[in-house]
Amino acid sequence: MGTTEWIVVVLVVVARLLLPLTIPYFPLFGIVSCLILDAIDQSIFQQFPKIDLDGYQSYDKALDVYYLAIAYLATMRNWTSRPAFRVSRFLWYYRLVGVVAFELTQVRALLLIFPNTFEYFFIFYEAVRVRWSPARIGTWTAVIAAALIWIFIKLPQEWWIHIAQLDMTDFIKESLFGVSKDSSWADTISANPMVLVAAVVALALLILVVWWIITRKAPPRDHGLRFRADPLPPQLQGPELYRTVRADARFFGWPLVEKVALLGLVSVIFAQILDVRFGNLGVLVAVAIFVAINALVSQWLAHRGRAWTSVAIELGGMALVNLAIVLMLQVLERVLNIIDNPAPTGTTLFFVFLLTVLTVLFDRYRTILTARGVLQRAGGGSMTSQDSPQQ
């Protein structure tokens, strides 16, 4: 690839790594933006024939998993409907297991069996929250919504993409506009401009129908439009958050197990596309050691009363800590001669970034989730607050 192609690839990949960080604070905007970028990145790459797309499927699935992992962690921070959260957790891990199985076997049918229902369920919840209280989403509402998304949206979509292996851009150009899939968009539209006009009219009608249903048929709104994540109550912020959960804090417990499982499975997926050569079991063991050391450091800082003032500062601080951990593990590997072909420096730095982002967000947001449970069991404390500042 030439310089131009490398710049395009780097810009798209960086965008796909940074844009998901908006999801915890602007959930609907963040997830829809990631969805759009995911849909168009292949078309962007196709405009530059020198870009090799042979490994696109694995690259795409890996970065999908990355932004969906952040979306799942955002549910720990933001979602106050326990039924919805439990359904989303099942959908997330179900899909994650399916993607790992696909990466290990390259059997496309697995992506149909394990559809990405979590993403659209996340959008459903956040779309409801824009106008209504999430308390309206009970167990049956969550289950029925997930089932409808699974059957009528995701199964056809997964079949289209992974079994039939059809590309939406190619379908639009060839079947709707009647031109070659290699035609530019300018030539495509000029060949049959009425198709574009019809598409705009259909979209406008769809928006009007949705707006009519929302304003005339749906229940009265509970509040004004909310696109930003609801602010956290005082009990779930700063030092008060850690005092709330201190009684429940255990080093070896379900949160640590879940963190090892989540980061391990995500790392296996990325190890496949980055061609890390010390095996999937080696990746899982390395991640488990990394997570354990990271948890000890985080707990030591918490016991000393160290509270990070913001997520950005915590990400920077823990990135340095995690880089030191990884370097220490690499020195240990060389001394013990465990690995013949250590990962390149670029791959190592990428995994430090990946593990730092997911670890920091998991620790912070899982603590918020735990604190909500503590407050509920104690029978006190508001689960949400509209007046407190954002964490």
Given this model, what pLDDT does residue 236 score? 79
Q: What is the pLDDT of residue 248?
A: 53
* pLDDT score for 387: 38
Looking at the chain, the number of H-run helices and the number of E-run strands are 16, 0
Separation of alpha carbons 77 and 269, rounded Å: 25
Which is nearest to 363 in space by CA: 320, 288, 302, 282?
302
Q: Is the dihedral of CA 263, 265, 266, 269 positive or negative?
A: positive
pLDDT of residue 342: 60
Longest dimension (CA), the chain: 70
Spans of the chain, pLDDT less than 50: 305, 381-383, 385-391
pLDDT recorded at residue 232 = 86
For residue 197, CA distances in Å to 171, 201, 202 come to: 18, 6, 9
Helices (H), 20-116: 27-46, 56-78, 82-105, 109-113
Question: pLDDT at position 320, please?
Answer: 86
Distance CA 80, CA 137 (A): 10
The encoded tokens of residue 360 equal 């920091």
User: What pLDDT does residue 302 have?
Assistant: 59
Nearest 5°: the CA angle 206, 16, 65 is 85
Mean predicted lDDT score pLDDT of the chain:
84
d(Cα 164, Cα 142) in Å, to the nearest integer? Answer: 30
Q: How far, in Å, are 6, 66, 79, 311 from residue 237 at the CA level?
A: 42, 26, 16, 12
Query: What local confidence, expressed as pLDDT, does residue 216 receive?
Result: 85
